[in-house]
Each structure stands twice: as structure tokens, then as C-alpha cells.
């Protein structure tokens, strides 16, 4: 176990042609946005920000915007069938449609990426209301997932033009989420390198770390993964593809139930994972269980840590170390009925890697759940 965030590939150009300030928001298309908003507000502790729907004069879909730290989620559901959002939900179930990136110039972002072969989703589009103006543009990535570039320098409203402030469903306390650490995509067997090339050539990202099935394999499951990061390192998109295992891998299970390629998990960073996970568990958020045996040997692998091991064991938090430090992480169960999208909670204490040392323990836990679902 020795991975660091060293740069393995050289960027095609030295200047960052797509400067990104951060993750702007993540939009899910869901079957019942009102109930999803309640879940994210009260279970995950997101705070209500904005709303758009019939009451604001928008007659196609309802959208709820919630925020915690720098993490902004948008939950959208259509009012009628026969449109792209309804078709997306029919095919994929609840899932991520938009990974939106905050940029200084959405027109330039669009021109630079489409010139390099990015497939247009939305040409630069100016939206205005009494709070100012926003420019949006976008390109396609894996499956039905898109990247929207958001330029909001001249905007003072709660979210985007057309949205009004929204009070939420009563009060809820945040759990300590600070920012999006990374967002992972699952793609078909043999297609990982195509999307690695997309992020490198179209978006100017660099490859950080490469895993293969020797790193990540259990008796049944195997996967390959490459991590792509933008110039300033704020945005990290690992791409997974299934590798040959004896039985169906977790990536194949996802692809089968999502009916396509898409976002597998979103990792949210916290400064105090013990508080965050204790609070999430109290509110009924479901996590993968870590085998007790994991804690009997983990310190031999990772060395000394600041946190009491018995508390980490009680909460099921995993530990890994690389050359630069260590990290604490835990994974939720899927947050919808289909075994597709889930969350990772991560606290970095110097480590810049992704928990490779935990993959075996983690995947064995996932496989126990796959077996319960009859999908192994």
C-alpha cells in the first residue's frame, strides 16, 4: 500500500485552458424531489437554499436546492411524462444528471472544450433576473451525465435566475460536510481509457493514480480505476470499469441497475468524521458494515493515529495511510432502492490518495450486501 497523488501523465499543454474554481453544484433527477429534499435536509443535514417550480411560474419541473459547506445539491423532478427528465428517471432511477463546475468564464470553457472534441450539451446561455446574471454552458461526459460550466461572478441571488429562496421543512442541524472531495463514475468494460482521454484531452485534467485489478480484487469482484484531476487539484473524477472476477462485480451490478454509465459515489469531506458519522447514524443513514476483524490488524498497516480506535470501530470508520499522511473514510449504502448511487464520507489528515488499502475490506463488505440482494 503506497500510493501518492503523484502526476503520472504530462498535461498536453502547460497553461490550464479550463481553470475551475470548484464544484458549483450536483443535480440529481429524482422521482419525488420533495421527499428527497426532506431526506437530504434531515438525514444529511443540508440547509434549504432555493426552489423553482409551479409557484415560481416554472411549469416543467420542481427543483429544490440545498447546501452544506461548499456542497450544493439540486433535486429535480418533472411534473409530466414525455420529457428528458422523466425518461432519465424511468431508465436510471434516481441519479446524477449534472456535475456542475464553477468557472470564471463559461463561454471560454465551452469554446476550449468543444474545440478539443467535447460534445455540446448547452451552448453558452445567459440567464438574468433581478439579482443579476449567470452564464451557463455544458458538455457531455459518460452515459447521460453532463458537465455544466457555471459563471456567476455577476449574480447575487440564492442560486440561479428563476429560483426563489426556500425555507425547507422545519429546522435541521448540519453534520459537518465541507466540500466535494471527489465524484466517481462507473463506465463499461473497456471504456475507462476513453474517458481518461476525454478528461485529459478535452478538459485538460491529469491522471493522478492508477489502480488495477491486482490492487482491487476479492474473490468475486474486481475493478480498474484511474483518477483524473484538474489543474489546481480541486476537482477529482475517478473513473471505474469492471475487471474480470469470478462472479458479478459491484461495478457490473451498478451498470445493470443504472441501465448505463453514471456517477457511482460522491465523496464529501469533513473535518471531524467521528462527529459527522455519529450524527448521520443517529439520524438513520445506513452505512456499509466493517468487519470487526478489520480493527484487529489495521494499526499494523497504518501506524499510529490521533483518533481512538475503539470509537472508529464502533462507528465502522476505515483508515488508510500513504506517504503524506492518513485518511479516514466510510461508505453509505445506496441512497435509493436501486443499488446504484452512494456516498463516501472522508476526512483527510495529510493523505491525498483514495483509500486503496481499504479496498479489500470494503469490497468484501459490499459483496456481502450484493449477496443479500441476490446479485453476486
- Find the part of the chain contacting Fe ion (CB under 5 A) among 63-71, 295-303, 308-316, 341-349: 341-349
Query: Judged by CB under 5 A, does residue 18 bind Fe ion?
Result: no
- Select 33 or 228, whichever has its Cβ closest to Fe ion: 228
Which 218-247 positions form the footprint of Fe ion (CB under 5 A)?
none
- Select 33 or 345, whichever has its Cβ closest to Fe ion: 345
Pairing of strands 71-78, 22-29: parallel
As a whole number of angstroms, the distance between CA 182 and CA 303 comes to 25
DSSP state of 283: T
Helices (H), 17-64: 33-42
- Select 109 or 187, whichever has its Cβ closest to Fe ion: 187
- Find the part of the chain contacting Fe ion (CB under 5 A) among 198-206, 266-274, 308-316, 356-364: 266-274
- Select 344 or 369, whichever has its Cβ closest to Fe ion: 344
As a whole number of angstroms, the distance between CA 197 and CA 30 comes to 30
CB of 181 to Fe ion, least distance (A): 8
The kind and range of the H/E element at 5 are none
- Counts for the chain of helices (H) and strands (E), in that order: 9, 17
- Select 267 or 318, whichever has its Cβ closest to Fe ion: 267
CB of 184 to Fe ion, least distance (A): 5
The closest alpha carbon to 174, from 99, 70, 96, 98, belongs to 70
- Select 224 or 267, whichever has its Cβ closest to Fe ion: 267
CB of 309 to Fe ion, least distance (A): 22
Burial of 307 per CB tally in 10 Å (0-12, 13-18, 19+): middle
- Find the part of the chain contacting Fe ion (CB under 5 A) among 119-127, 142-150, 205-213, 264-272: 264-272
Phi, psi of 161 (to 5 degrees): -55, 135
- Find the part of the chain contacting Fe ion (CB under 5 A) among 14-22, 45-53, 121-129, 265-273: 265-273
Site for Fe ion (CB under 5 A): which residue of 322, 344, 367, 369? 344
As a whole number of angstroms, the distance between CA 170 and CA 152 comes to 29
Residue count, binding to Fe ion (CB under 5 A) = 2
As a whole number of angstroms, the distance between CA 40 and CA 115 comes to 38
CB of 130 to Fe ion, least distance (A): 40
- Find the part of the chain contacting Fe ion (CB under 5 A) among 129-137, 143-151, 209-217, 338-346: 338-346
CB of 60 to Fe ion, least distance (A): 33
- Total Cβ atoms within 10 A of residue 243: 21
- Select 4 or 128, whichever has its Cβ closest to Fe ion: 4
CB of 359 to Fe ion, least distance (A): 10
CB of 17 to Fe ion, least distance (A): 27
Query: Judged by CB under 5 A, does residue 317 bind Fe ion?
Result: no
The Cα-based distances of 254 to 92, 145, 364 in angstroms read: 10, 15, 16
Query: Judged by CB under 5 A, does residue 267 bind Fe ion?
Result: yes
For the chain, list the strands marked E by DSSP: 22-29, 47-52, 61-68, 71-78, 95-102, 120-129, 132-140, 146-151, 164-165, 177-186, 206-211, 223-229, 236-242, 262-270, 318-322, 325-331, 342-349
Query: Judged by CB under 5 A, does residue 181 bind Fe ion?
Result: no
CB of 51 to Fe ion, least distance (A): 30
- Select 223 or 267, whichever has its Cβ closest to Fe ion: 267
Query: Judged by CB under 5 A, does residue 279 bind Fe ion?
Result: no
Nearest-10 crossing angle of helices 250-258, 359-372: 50
- Find the part of the chain contacting Fe ion (CB under 5 A) among 63-71, 211-219, 245-253, 262-270: 262-270
- Select 267 or 280, whichever has its Cβ closest to Fe ion: 267
Query: Judged by CB under 5 A, does residue 320 bind Fe ion?
Result: no
Handedness of CA 287, 322, 249, 189 (dihedral sign): positive
Binding region for Fe ion (CB under 5 A): 267, 344
Amino acid at each position: 500500500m503506497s500510493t501518492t497523488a503523484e502526476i503520472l501523465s504530462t498535461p498536453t499543454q502547460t497553461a490550464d485552458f479550463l481553470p475551475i474554481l470548484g464544484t458549483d453544484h450536483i443535480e440529481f433527477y429524482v422521482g419525488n424531489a420533495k421527499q428527497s429534499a426532506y431526506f437530504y435536509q434531515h438525514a444529511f443535514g443540508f440547509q434549504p437554499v432555493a426552489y423553482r417550480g409551479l409557484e415560481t411560474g416554472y411549469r416543467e419541473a420542481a427543483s429544490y436546492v440545498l447546501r452544506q459547506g461548499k456542497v450544493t445539491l439540486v433535486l429535480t423532478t418533472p411534473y409530466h411524462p414525455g420529457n428528458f427528465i422523466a425518461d432519465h428517471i424511468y431508465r436510471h432511477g434516481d441519479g446524477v444528471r449534472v456535475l456542475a463546475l464553477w468557472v470564471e468564464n463559461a463561454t471560454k470553457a465551452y469554446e476550449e472544450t468543444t474545440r478539443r472534441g467535447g460534445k455540446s450539451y448547452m451552448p453558452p446561455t445567459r440567464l438574468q433576473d433581478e439579482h443579476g446574471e449567470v452564464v451557463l454552458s455544458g458538455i457531455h461526459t459518460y452515459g447521460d451525465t453532463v458537465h455544466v460550466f457555471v459563471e456567476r461572478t455577476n449574480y447575487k441571488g440564492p442560486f440561479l435566475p428563476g429560483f426563489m429562496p426556500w425555507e425547507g421543512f422545519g429546522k435541521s442541524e448540519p453534520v459537518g460536510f465541507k466540500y466535494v472531495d471527489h465524484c466517481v463514475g462507473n463506465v463499461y468494460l473497456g471504456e475507462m481509457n476513453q474517458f481518461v482521454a476525454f478528461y485529459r484531452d478535452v478538459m485538460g485534467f491529469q491522471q493522478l493514480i492508477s489502480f488495477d485489478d491486482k490492487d482491487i480484487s476479492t474473490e468475486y469482484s474486481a475493478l480498474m480505476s484511474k483518477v483524473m484531476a484538474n489543474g489546481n487539484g480541486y476537482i477529482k473524477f475517478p473513473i471505474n470499469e469492471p475487471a474480470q472476477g469470478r462472479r458479478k462485480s459491484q461495478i457490473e451490478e451498478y451498470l445493470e441497475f443504472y441501465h448505463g454509465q453514471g456517477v457511482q459515489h460522491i465523496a464529501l469531506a469533513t473535518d471531524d468524521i467521528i462527529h459527522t458519522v455519529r450524527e448521520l447514524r443517529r439520524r438513520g443513514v445506513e452505512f456499509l458494515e466493517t468487519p470487526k476483524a478489520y480493527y484487529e490488524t489495521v494499526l499494523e498497516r497504518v501506524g499510529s493515529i490521533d483518533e481512538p480506535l475503539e470509537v472508529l470501530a464502533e462507528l465502522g470508520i476505515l483508515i488508510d495511510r500513504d506517504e503524506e499522511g492518513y485518511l479516514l473514510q466510510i461508505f453509505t449504502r445506496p441512497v435509493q432502492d436501486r443499488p446504484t448511487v452512494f456516498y463516501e464520507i472522508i476526512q483527510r489528515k495529510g493523505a491525498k490518495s483514495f483509500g486503496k488499502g481499504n479496498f479489500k475490506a470494503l469490497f468484501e463488505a459490499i459483496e456481502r450486501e450484493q449477496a443479500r440482494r441476490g446479485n453476486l
